[in-house]
């Protein structure tokens, strides 16, 4: 049911799968429990490209050939889901470990894959559909969920799906964000951050089109009940988009390899990957051309940095408000609270592929830091820290709890326990080799414990941009 011969594995490099994944995510977010969990805990608003890469990496692990990797990933996902529980704005509880909710997530992936093939004029054959459904059931079994939450047979699935769409799905805020606001404010991937005008222009055209196509592909009963607009001509546009994406499969394999495309979109400009250097060289050429244009037609000067925001006039530093928005507010809701720091712990744990108890130690260290921040910064007592509260205090964050976070992160990164971070351990965390500006004090050219902690604290309290932590915690 898993590995290179599976139906799901074949979807990875199918260009149509991108459209199907957006559709499935909308249907997931329309479920009240999933929508609330996404809104409270997910980084899909503030860091969509990171979320894209992490989701794809997780699917690769589950549907890859290595069973040990698959079992480890299932255990990691269960630990992640166990931490996601709370209540929605209507005081209804949500729990990411609810087996019925997890069955719905898998159901949306299955149904969207079937719909993707139908809309592109290549419907799945009955045997392939049955095999895909069996793989969905196998995935839930891998996660440890009891059978029956997803119907046992394919014939029973469609009444279950129709009933859930008609009775349980809602026009949730998370669903509206994905459909309408996510693309409106989607930040540029790391390699395009130097071209905000170009990115904004393309996004303003593509975003509404993708949103309209997604709406047109949703089940009609849900569209009516949720009050989603029906625009003349969009069903034809949707059909054309799926057909065009299907034709892309005839392109050379290296052009449509999902892993390569995902890595390129999420590649940090400072990476030592040869592709990053190539794109950086191209970006420099475009910058020079842009500078020449500005000389010919000068633009109005940009305003000077404001002292109120904590800007010190050094391009290597962030203002307090920038630091809050880019680093601390991981969920993008305008506030700092526990889900933001939990998202940091989740990202670092995922990069290092931590098992218990190392993962729990890192989460506990972040929880202690959150309590320290809450005590120092939550002046109005509402249980969270606003951007104004943070910028007004502009504190030095290097308290005992943050130092403990740095120590625990060092221990987790130092996988062989020799008290130093070598090149392989550095790459596991930062996904890049040592940079020339990395200071080392030992003869072996490794990262010492004190240097690692100092760099982390400098990033978190000094708000410096030029550290390896930017691609992990600040970039989208």
Residues 191 and 276 in one domain: no
- The residue whose two tokens read 């459209």 is 19
Residues 278 and 403 in one domain: no
φ/ψ region of 383 (left if φ > 0, alpha if ψ in -120 to 50, else beta) reads left
Closest CA to 101 of 79, 85, 89: 85
Residue 74 in any domain: the answer is: yes
pLDDT given for residue 243 in this prediction: 84
Closest CA to 180 of 233, 130, 229: 229
- What are the backbone angles phi and psi of residue 93, rounded to the nearest 5°? -75, 150
Consecutive H or E run containing 95: strand 93-95
Residue 22 in any domain: the answer is: yes
Closest CA to 50 of 243, 327, 437, 306: 327
* Strands (DSSP E) found in 287-402: 335-336, 385-386
Residues 6+ apart with CB under 8 A from 408: 361, 362, 365
pLDDT given for residue 391 in this prediction: 84
Closest CA to 212 of 255, 179, 254: 179
The answer to whether 60 touches 259, Cβ cutoff 8 Å, is: yes
Residue 2 in any domain: the answer is: no
Residue 302 in any domain: the answer is: no
Number of domains in the chain: 3
Residues 103 and 137 in one domain: yes
Beta-carbon count within 10 A of 399 CB: 17
> How far is 303 from 321, CA to CA, in rounded Å?
16
Residues 277 and 246 in one domain: no
Residue 260 in any domain: the answer is: no
pLDDT in tens, 71-98: 999 999 999 999 999 999 889 999 999 9
Residues 372 and 446 in one domain: yes
Residues 234 and 333 in one domain: no
Closest CA to 373 of 415, 408, 401, 404: 401
Query: In which residue ranges of the chain is pLDDT below 50?
Result: 299-315, 436-437, 441
> How far is 345 from 276, CA to CA, in rounded Å?
26
Rounded (5°) CA angle 120-126-127: 115
Rounded (5°) CA angle 243-248-252: 165
Residues 65 and 17 in one domain: yes
- The residue whose two tokens read 């977010």 is 29
Tokens for 432, please give them.
């890049």
Residues 288 and 419 in one domain: no
> How far is 257 from 276, CA to CA, in rounded Å?
17
Residues 14 and 163 in one domain: yes
3-state secondary structure (DSSP) of residue 475? coil
> How far is 471 from 476, CA to CA, in rounded Å?
8
Which residue segment(s) compose the domain that 403 sits in? 310-474
Q: What is the pTM of this model?
A: 0.80
Residues 97 and 149 in one domain: yes
What radius of gyration do the chain's Cα atoms show?
Answer: 23
Percentage of the chain exceeding pLDDT 90? 43
pLDDT in tens, 325-373: 889 999 989 999 999 999 999 999 998 999 999 999 999 999 999 999 9
- The residue whose two tokens read 């299955």 is 110
Residues 186 and 285 in one domain: no
Residue 256 in any domain: the answer is: no
Q: How many residues does this entry show for the chain?
A: 476
């Amino acid at each position: 049911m898993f590995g290179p011969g599976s139906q799901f594995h074949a979807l990875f490099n199918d260009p149509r799968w991108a459209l199907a994944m957006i559709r499935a995510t909308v249907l997931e977010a329309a479920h009240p429990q999933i929508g609330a969990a996404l809104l409270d805990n997910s980084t899909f608003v503030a860091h969509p490209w990171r979320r894209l890469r992490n989701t794809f990496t997780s699917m690769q692990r589950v549907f890859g050939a290595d069973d040990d990797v698959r079992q480890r990933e299932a255990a990691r996902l269960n630990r992640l889901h166990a931490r996601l529980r709370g209540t929605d704005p209507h005081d209804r509880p949500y729990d990411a470990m609810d087996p019925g909710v997890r069955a719905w997530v898998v159901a949306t992936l299955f149904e969207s894959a079937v719909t993707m093939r139908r809309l592109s004029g290549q419907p799945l054959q009955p045997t392939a559909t049955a095999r895909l459904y069996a793989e969905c059931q196998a995935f839930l079994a891998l996660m440890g969920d009891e059978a029956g939450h997803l119907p046992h047979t394919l014939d029973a699935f469609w009444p279950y799906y129709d009933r859930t769409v008609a009775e349980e799905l809602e026009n949730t805020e998370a669903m509206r964000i994905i459909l309408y606001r996510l693309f409106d404010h989607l930040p540029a991937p790391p390699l395009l951050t130097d071209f905000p005008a170009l990115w904004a222009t393309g996004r303003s055209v593509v975003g509404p089109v993708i949103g309209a196509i997604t709406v047109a592909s949703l089940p009609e009963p849900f569209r009516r009940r949720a009050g989603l607009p029906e625009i003349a001509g969009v069903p034809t546009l949707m059909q054309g988009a799926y057909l065009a994406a299907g034709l892309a499969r005839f392109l050379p394999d290296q052009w449509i390899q999902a892993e390569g495309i995902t890595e390129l979109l999420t590649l940090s400009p400072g990476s030592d990957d040869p592709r990053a250097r190539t794109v950086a060289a191209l970006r420099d050429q475009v910058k020079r051309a842009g500078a020449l244009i500005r000389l010919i037609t000068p633009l109005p000067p940009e305003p000077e940095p404001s002292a109120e925001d904590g800007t010190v006039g050094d391009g290597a530093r962030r203002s307090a408000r920038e630091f809050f928005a880019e680093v601390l507010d991981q969920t993008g809701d305008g506030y700092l609270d526990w889900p933001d720091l939990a998202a940091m712990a989740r990202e670092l744990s995922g990069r290092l592929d931590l098992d218990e108890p190392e993962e729990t130690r890192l989460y506990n260290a972040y929880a202690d830091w959150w309590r320290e921040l809450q005590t120092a910064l939550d002046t109005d007592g509402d249980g969270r820290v606003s951007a104004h509260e943070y910028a007004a205090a502009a504190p030095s964050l290097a308290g005992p709890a943050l130092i403990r976070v740095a120590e625990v992160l060092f221990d987790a990164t130092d996988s062989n326990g020799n008290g130093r971070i070598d090149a392989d351990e550095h790459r596991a965390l930062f996904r890049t080799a040592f940079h020339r500006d990395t200071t080392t004090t030992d003869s072996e050219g490794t990262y010492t414990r004190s240097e690692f902690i100092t760099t982390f604290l400098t990033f978190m309290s000094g708000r410096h941009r030029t550290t390896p932590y930017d691609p992990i915690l600040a970039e989208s």
